Amino acid sequence: MTTTTVPEFQHRTVLLDEAVDALALDGARAGGVFVDGTFGRGGHSRLILSKLGANARLIAFDKDPQAIATAEQIKDPRFTIVHDSFATMREALAERGINKVDGILLDLGISSPQVDDAARGFSFRNDGPLDMRMDTTRGMSAAEWLATETAETLEKVIKEYGEERFAFQIAKAIVARRAVEPISTTRQLAGIVAGAVKTREKGKDPATRTFQAIRIFINKELEDLEIGLNRAYECLAPGAIMAIISFHSLEDRMVKRFFASKANVEQPDRRLPIRAVDLPQPELKLLSKMKPSEKEVDENPRARSAVMRVSRRLPIPEGA
């Protein structure tokens, strides 16, 4: 296996050791089948491969063509990269003769190369084309969306996905500006938001929430996560582990609620004549919740909002 680096923009994988350790890649499990649902620049995948046995398999997914190009440089027969969202996991695995896996890792964060490359349009810190697509080969860019969407929908997206209390003012300002000139660059959009947002938390750029909201919407991130959680769960073998790293409250809330829905089963009244074998059984066991250490946050400030939740698929009770 060969390793690669991104020559211009470097990425530091958040909770690298902790996430891979959570998959418990030892003993018989080292020969299993695992999924890295968000390859990024391959930090987790490479470490997983270093711990797997000779007959194991690792299937990785990513929507970003640049991530795919990086993944294709990994020359390891145990490794497969799929250019698609992890939401397609069940179908993609079935096409490769895989029905159940022993572990799934999802790192929901945007990678540093995506943010730092002005040409991708994710960041308000560097001027560039207003694109924001994870997969630049398909779909509508942020600029195209802003040029045609109604003020009401703009407000809804910015408010719900960015948790932005000035969403109405920002949407109104966007509609007013696009009537004068196309909004085609990140600097233009950041300036519009700055003019509409009157106050902001200390140390946070006024455009932060709006850029987050538009990125999430354009890439259907929450829709992918909702579908992906269910598809991932369906692929888990008994005893398999799922570890998910999220970076903002909307994602973490979805992960927390999904895990809880499978782990916390409401029991019927004990006075009812129900056999023990017929009682509802939990399907997941919650293992841990973890945040980056102070040391990691000091070394990589982008890790500060990360939260990792880990659960294990429970065996199906006999007779169920």
- What whole-number distance in Å separates Cα of residue 296 and Cα of residue 212? 23
Residue in 133, 144, 108, 86 with CA at minimum distance from that of residue 250: 108
Quote the distance between the C-alpha of residue 245 and its chain's center.
Answer: 7
- What whole-number distance in Å separates Cα of residue 7 and Cα of residue 10? 7
Beta bridge partners of 312: 241, 285
Kindly state the average pLDDT of the residues 259-284.
Answer: 70
CATH class held by domain 16-112+221-313: alpha beta
Q: Note the pTM of the prediction, 2 decimals.
A: 0.88
CATH architecture, domain 136-218: Orthogonal Bundle (1.10)
Binding-site sequence positions for S-adenosyl-L-methionine: 42-44, 62, 86, 107, 114
Binding-site sequence positions: 42-44, 62, 86, 107, 114
Q: What is the pLDDT of residues 224-248, one digit of tens each?
A: 999 999 999 999 999 999 999 999 9
- What whole-number distance in Å separates Cα of residue 32 and Cα of residue 228? 21
Q: What angle do CA 36, 244, 281 make, to 5 degrees?
A: 110
CA-to-CA separations, 194 to 122, 147, 197, 314, in angstroms, rounded: 17, 19, 5, 49
Q: What is the pLDDT of residues 21-32, one digit of tens each?
A: 999 999 889 999
Owner of token pair 């890790």: 303
Count of residues for the chain? 320
Q: What is the pLDDT of residues 89-126, one digit of tens each?
A: 999 999 999 999 999 999 997 876 677 677 787 888 88
Mind spelling out the 3-state secondary structure of 259-301?
HHHHHCCCCCCCCCCCCHHHCCCCCEEEEEEECCCHHHHHHCH
Beta bridge partners of 107: 245
| Joined tokens for residue 180 | 């004068």
Q: What is the pLDDT of residues 133-183, one digit of tens each?
A: 999 999 999 999 999 999 999 999 999 999 999 999 999 999 999 999 999
User: Are the C-beta atoms of 245 and 14 separated by less than 8 Å?
Assistant: yes
- What whole-number distance in Å separates Cα of residue 317 and Cα of residue 115? 46
Residue in 160, 157, 215 with CA at minimum distance from that of residue 186: 215
In the chain, where the domains are located: 16-112+221-313, 136-218
Q: In CATH terms, are 16-112+221-313 and 136-218 the same topology?
A: no
Q: What is the pLDDT of residues 44-56, one digit of tens each?
A: 999 999 999 999 9
